Structure 1
Amino acid sequence: MTETLVLGAGGRIGRMLRGVWPGQGIWHARQGGDLAWDMLADPVPGQLHPDVVLNLAGVTDARAPMEHNVALAQAAWQAAAAIGARYVFLMSSAAVYGVAQRVWREDDALAPVSAYGEAKARMENAARAWQAAGGPGLTILRLGNVAGADALLGRAQPGVPVQLDPVASQRGPLRSYIGPRSLAQVLARLADLAATGTTLPPVLNIAAADVAMGDLLDAAGLDWFYGDENPAVVPQVSLDTTRLNALCPLPAVAGLPATMVAEWHGCVA
């Protein structure tokens, strides 16, 4: 397996991935991990020689400057160039697409509606400029929801029912999800492909399947109920994963709610 430097592994997704990563990784966090490094203040340590850099570092909490999403990605890019990495994966988000009811493809125009989505879109634009000036290969990963690191399962509390918006003919809104173990397998596979010189697309959507929120909560054994009719609800926001499936096909079982929940429960988070 390809030696991969995973930046920002102190976050929830990073901690999940570390528990199930199928290959050799160097796990970075500002405090702890294999590598302790303040990405925004210090130069990258010079003893590293990974083939691939995966950047998970970013800001989601509105209490921190959203522009750090750009600065952290730039630090990852500069670090990869400095240590001679062959390829860089920068983690973006499905939030760059907005919330229109549709299946989003990588070539679609972006329409973010949140400060986080707007910051990630700016990061993507900046990353393309960095690569145009020369350096490692680059793929931007637009991640959907990760079971257990999301607002639905990740914030649910036992004994406190979750309220869902009612959606005709389905059990709550439909969203694109992936389990953390499947995500680790996809990312490790992409790293292997990059290290062997496989041509990869500049942008990839990352998800396993579309899942109704009610089905996911049922699989997790969490109580839920329908709230009042909400005219503003978006019944479906989906990621097209045709490109991803051609490179990293997942078994059909990876798209089942029960599998995603089992992967979440099996992770160290």
Structure 2
Amino acid sequence: MKILKVLVLGATGRIGSVLRRSWMQGNTADGVIWQARRPQAGPGWHVFDPLSGQEVAAGSKALMQAAQGCDRILCLAGAIPGRQQDLADNTRLARAAILAGAEVGAGVLLCSSVAVYGAQDGVLDEASALRPVAPYGQAKLEMEQAGQALGQQLGVAVTALRIANVAGCDAILGGWAPGFALDRFADGTTPRRSYIGPQTLARVLWDLTQARDLPPVLNVAAPGAVEMGALLDAAGLAWTPRPAPPEAIARVEVATGALSAFTRLEARDSLPEHLIAQWRSSAA
């Protein structure tokens, strides 16, 4: 089977760095073009900002040139909370990727977030109601909607990837500090959330860039959910329990049945010790 050529936008972020390391170690990165805003060491880099330059069209031209010959565009680029970024850039970057996809005939994968579901309890599949409660989740939902509309208009296959908590890039492991407090419910449990390890995510994303006939939306997570207290315990990070308030959600889990049609998922992928091992390996 032909290996499809991939352009990765936003390749210097935390997820992009994990992808590059993992894909190169797996000898799958020969056909990958990596986008950065500043010069980087190593092969395969194209340096440009898709949204800036002397005018927007200049950035778009550089993106079109980088995308030539590519079969897939994976858009990791985006604005995140806490960095004084305009969250509307998520939609602008998605549009830029889709316009490039239309120009070169490439499918586009947009990195969204399970934040689009908001604080709903239970197991959420791709057809569940979308109720973002924070500006970031709202921005990702607007990106998804604008991306699907533009893709349909231009005849570009667009898939929004609703990525769960990535171990180490999350508010628990990534946000831990001495004195960290965590909700604990009356039954002694702590909140359960969907997670995915960095290396598992890299493998899953590679499989998705090579897949045909992807649906418009996919949840991206390891099967099941992990208890946050167990995750901190596995990492040896101390935490202080606090009574969970009435509005606290005990479990937010996304279904992965649709994802399993395109990649291999294993129950161990959501074990706390497995997630911690992947986090530490990716940080080494």
TM value normalised by structure 2: 0.87
* Distance across 1 between alignment mates of 2:269 and 2:219: 16
For 2:217, the aligned partner's letter is V
SS in 1 for 2:175: coil
* Shift in Å, 1:210: 0.6
Does residue 36 of structure 1 match 2:47?
yes
* Shift in Å, 1:170: 5.2
Q: 1:180 aligns with which of 192, 198, 203?
A: 198
Structure 1 residues 52 and 170, CA gap change in structure 2 (3 angstroms)? farther
* Distance across 1 between alignment mates of 2:266 and 2:145: 33
* Distance across 2 between alignment mates of 1:129 and 1:98: 22
Does residue 207 of structure 1 match 2:221?
yes
Does residue 154 of structure 1 match 2:174?
yes
Q: Is the 8 A contact 1:205 1:241 kept in 2?
A: yes
SS in 2 for 1:133: helix
Deviations 1:113-137 (A, max 9, x none): 1111111111111111111112331
Map residues 97-176 of structure 1 onto 2, 5 A cutoff: 97-157=117-177, 160-169=178-187, 171-176=189-194
Q: Is the 8 A contact 1:145 1:178 kept in 2?
A: yes
SS in 2 for 1:261: helix
More moved, 234-243 vs 75-84:
75-84
Q: Is the 8 A contact 2:64 2:103 kept in 1?
A: no
State the partner residue of 1:71: 92
Q: Is the 8 A contact 1:99 1:234 kept in 2?
A: yes
State the partner residue of 1:230: 245
* Shift in Å, 1:212: 0.3
TM value normalised by structure 1: 0.91
Where do 5+ consecutive residues of structure 2 fail to align? 53-58
Q: Is the 8 A contact 2:102 2:154 kept in 1?
A: no
Map residues 8-19 of structure 1 onto 2, 5 A cutoff: 8-19=10-21
For 1:76, the aligned partner's letter is A
State the partner residue of 2:109: 89
For 1:201, the aligned partner's letter is P
SS in 1 for 2:282: coil
Superposed CA RMSD in Å reads 1.7
* Distance across 2 between alignment mates of 1:184 and 1:121: 23
* Distance across 1 between alignment mates of 2:244 and 2:226: 20
* Distance across 2 between alignment mates of 1:27 and 1:161: 39
Q: 2:257 aligns with which of 237, 242, 247?
A: 242
Identity %: 43
* Distance across 2 between alignment mates of 1:32 and 1:220: 35
More moved, 121-130 vs 57-66:
57-66
SS in 1 for 2:247: coil
SS in 1 for 2:19: helix
* Shift in Å, 1:216: 0.8
More moved, 162-171 vs 33-42:
162-171
For 1:202, the aligned partner's letter is P
For 1:9, the aligned partner's letter is A
SS in 2 for 1:125: helix
Runs of 4+ in structure 1 over 3 Å off: 168-171
State the partner residue of 2:65: 46
State the partner residue of 2:22: 20
